[in-house]
Chains A and B, each alone.
Chain A
Amino acid sequence: MKPFVFVLAARSAWNRRLTLGVTMAAVALSVLLLVGIERLREGARHGFAETVSGTDLIVGSRTSPVQLLLYAVFHVGAPTNNMGWAAFQAVAADPAVAWAVPVALGDSHRGFPVVGTSPGYFEHFRHGDGRALALAAGRRFDGLFEVVLGAEAAQRLGYAVGRRITLSHGTGEALLPEHADKPFVVTGILARTGTPVDRALHVSLESLEAIHLEWRGGAPVPGLVIPAEFVRKFDLSPKSVTAVLAGLHERTAVFAAQRRINAHAGEPLQAILPGVALDELWQVLGTAERVLVAVSALTAAIAIAGLVAVILAGLGERRRELAVLRATGARPRDIFALLTLEGLFVTVAGSAAGLALLLACALLFGDLLLARYGVALAAQSFAPSELARVGAIIAAGLVASMVPGLRAYRLAVADGLTPGS
């Protein structure tokens, strides 16, 4: 093939820039989709893996690790068994454990989970690349009937600091019995984390004990009413928790600590490594992600099919042009190269435009995504996996462009200098 054919193909493509521009836009959008989904997937996976960071072990009563993770971190589902307060104290007292924060679930407020915990939660909980929780407004809870809202819960419910709310017994959206006699006051609202913390309402363990004083076995005891001002006369020390988040002095001690906790004599306990469990959970979610990838790959295939169709459709009216080129000495394989290159140019230009579009999107919406969903859409460069996808699209474009190329080759041979005869 002569280098001149390159120039000719470029000028021919430029001449039909409107038609080819539309196909190029389709290729660009499919590249944006394919690479963008790859990037979102990586970002989501990364963000997901960092839903909890800085927590070395999660401890609960025996169940599957994913189950424990689901309710301890995501506050989804209900534990079959709680663990006793003595067990919590045993975990906290383990020589390897630097800090232990209890998590007690079971109540909710208008569909948002209520998390009973200790003030240590705000000290030790980490997400993302080790970021601590920060208050966007107000202060932490510091006594009975005080609640700190996650950012999304506050926003969706429209609550501000100072608002009085009542908690419901149980979880879910159904009509639940309310702890209406003991209202809580919002003392603080957390900054957005992009993790399940955003959806939670945080109260002290003692507050949870207090609202359940007259409850036995999940239902209020008939006739027993203990007004809020008298609850301090009762023993409000926690009786049980759902799970424990624990940090170690030395991460290297994690497996030894895990073994010790799993062998705890008092009651059957289980300690899991959050990273491992998160990975396991991601595998489950991965199916949806693979469907997304398949759909975006299909989109790319459609874009390339459109490209081939457009070039093929233009071929009929270009037979004279091809005959002219043949008359001036072009060989059939030059004609093949001319048509194939045209398709390749469109694919390459479309891919470049798609990547540029992705960078623009990352710059424009990256911060928003990170804040809202905890998904990092790094804007700086392209990962090898992303470039591999672009490479695959360009390769597919090249192969597909050979279809009009071959057709033109055949036409050039058959037509000679008298097209259409």
Chain B
Amino acid sequence: MDPAAAVDPAAAVDPAGAADAGDAVRIDALEFTWRAGLAPCLAIPALRIGAGERVFIQGMSGSGKSTLLNLVAGVAVPTRGSLRLFGHELGALGGAARDRLRGDHIGYIFQQFNLIPYLSAIDNVLLPVHFSARRRARARQQGASPRDAAIALLARLDIDAASGARRAAQLSIGQQQRVAAARALIGAPEIVIADEPTSALDSERQQAFLDLLMACCAAAGSALLFVSHDQRLAAGFDRQVRMEELNRAPRGPA
């Protein structure tokens, strides 16, 4: 572990308290409790992720990573405190608005089983375009049509047109993760969240995937929120946050 890369979460606090409109994610005094009356499983005094910033969040399972990601993605709502996405206070928005915000601004890559098995790789990449008009419009800027943009992204991630036309279930795990990356990147969302996306890959492919993902995020101008337990992948990120330090909630079973 490189201690220099680990940043004290307190340093992420904006001392002036002024909201920076450029922040992709801004968390203040956030607490999350699964059920009223239980102790919070997540308590984050402050976290700021700037536009286009690449942040490595390191944490073991049970450290509250998944909860944090669910909160940022807008499928869970903070029990207390503030979570802003581009200045939008998520807790103040209804479910539909949060779903729209996610569809418009967030690309998401899961650990594995990212793809709808009965759709082709290209149709999987195109999913966000169907649910978000904004992503559709921005995908048209990436290519002549969303489909062209998807094909171009897949090509960039080393998936040729023939593989792109195949059903997701027929692709290798490595290919599936790259298709998932293309899906997260289509329509150039402001934030790409990757939840242990390399854990199903063998070690020599992990770095290759990570390099590709970073390059694509840079090209799209997307911030990258990369969650992993694996410290070795932290190199190359702008910043590293350790979940154990970020989350001030009393430790217990998640």
A interface residues with partner B (beta carbon < 8 Å) = 2, 4, 8, 11-12, 14-15, 320-321, 323-332, 334, 413, 416-418, 421
By the criterion CB–CB under 8 Å, are A417 and B128 in contact?
no
By the criterion CB–CB under 8 Å, are A2 and B66 in contact?
no
Chain A: interface secondary structure? helix
With contacts A329-B132, A330-B99 known, is A15 near B118, CB below 8 A?
A: yes
Q: A320-B113, A417-B108 are in contact. List 20 more A-B contacts (CB 8 A).
A: A4-B131, A11-B118, A320-B110, A323-B110, A327-B106, A328-B127, A328-B128, A328-B131, A329-B100, A329-B102, A329-B127, A329-B135, A330-B103, A330-B131, A331-B99, A417-B66, A417-B69, A417-B195, A418-B69, A418-B70
Nearest opposing residue in chain B for A412, CB measure? B75
By the criterion CB–CB under 8 Å, are A2 and B108 in contact?
no
With contacts A329-B103, A331-B96, A416-B75 known, is A2 near B130, CB below 8 A?
A: yes
* Least distance between B33 CB and chain A CB atoms (Å): 15
By the criterion CB–CB under 8 Å, are B70 and A329 in contact?
no
By the criterion CB–CB under 8 Å, are B110 and A324 in contact?
yes
**Among the listed A11, A330, A413, A416, which residue makes an inter-chain contact with B119, where contact means beta carbons less than 8 Å apart?**
A11
- Can you list 9 residue pairs at the A/B interface with Cβ under 8 Å? A4-B131, A320-B113, A324-B113, A324-B115, A326-B75, A328-B108, A329-B99, A417-B66, A417-B110
Nearest opposing residue in chain B for A330, CB measure? B131
Q: Within the assembled complex, what's the spacing in Å between the Cα atoms of A394 and B115?
A: 32
The 3 closest A-B pairs by CB, nearest first: A329-B103, A329-B131, A15-B118
Q: Within the assembled complex, what's the spacing in Å between the Cα atoms of A4 and B130?
A: 6
Beta-carbon contacts under 8 Å, B117-133 to A: 117-119, 127-128, 130-132
With contacts A11-B118, A328-B108, A329-B103 known, is A417 near B127, CB below 8 A?
A: no
Q: Within the assembled complex, what's the spacing in Å between the Cα atoms of A321 and B110?
A: 11
By the criterion CB–CB under 8 Å, are A327 and B73 in contact?
yes
B183 at the interface (CB under 8 A from A): yes
Nearest opposing residue in chain B for A332, CB measure? B95
B76 at the interface (CB under 8 A from A): yes
Q: Within the assembled complex, what's the spacing in Å between the Cα atoms of A153 and B132?
A: 75
* Least distance between B170 CB and chain A CB atoms (Å): 13
* Least distance between A1 CB and chain B CB atoms (Å): 11
By the criterion CB–CB under 8 Å, are B104 and A329 in contact?
yes
Q: Which residues of A contact B114 (CB under 8 A)?
A: 324
By the criterion CB–CB under 8 Å, are A327 and B118 in contact?
no
With contacts A2-B131, A417-B73 known, is A327 near B116, CB below 8 A?
A: no
Nearest opposing residue in chain B for A13, CB measure? B118
Q: Which residues of A contact B108 (CB under 8 A)?
A: 327-328, 417
Q: Within the assembled complex, what's the spacing in Å between the Cα atoms of A323 and B112?
A: 12
Q: Per-residue CB proximity of B203-236 to A under 8 Å, as 1/0?
A: 0000000000000000000000000000000000
By the criterion CB–CB under 8 Å, are A325 and B116 in contact?
yes
Nearest opposing residue in chain B for A16, CB measure? B118
Scoring B66, B69, B127 by chain A CB atoms within 10 A of each residue's CB, the highest score goes to: B127
By the criterion CB–CB under 8 Å, are A328 and B99 in contact?
no
Q: Which residues of B contact A11 (CB under 8 A)?
A: 118-119
Q: Which residues of B contact A417 (CB under 8 A)?
A: 66, 69-70, 73, 75, 108, 110, 195
Q: Which residues of B contact A332 (CB under 8 A)?
A: 95, 99
Scoring B108, B119, B130, B135 by chain A CB atoms within 10 A of each residue's CB, the highest score goes to: B130
Q: Within the assembled complex, what's the spacing in Å between the Cα atoms of A2 and B103?
A: 13
Q: Which residues of B contact A14 (CB under 8 A)?
A: 118
Scoring A14, A323, A325, A417 by chain B CB atoms within 10 A of each residue's CB, the highest score goes to: A417
Q: Within the assembled complex, what's the spacing in Å between the Cα atoms of A14 and B75?
A: 29
With contacts A14-B118, A416-B75 known, is A328 near B70, CB below 8 A?
A: no
With contacts A327-B108, A329-B132, A334-B131 known, is A321 near B117, CB below 8 A?
A: yes
With contacts A11-B118, A12-B118 known, is A325 near B76, CB below 8 A?
A: no
Nearest opposing residue in chain A for B128, CB measure? A328
Q: Which residues of A contact B118 (CB under 8 A)?
A: 11-12, 14-15
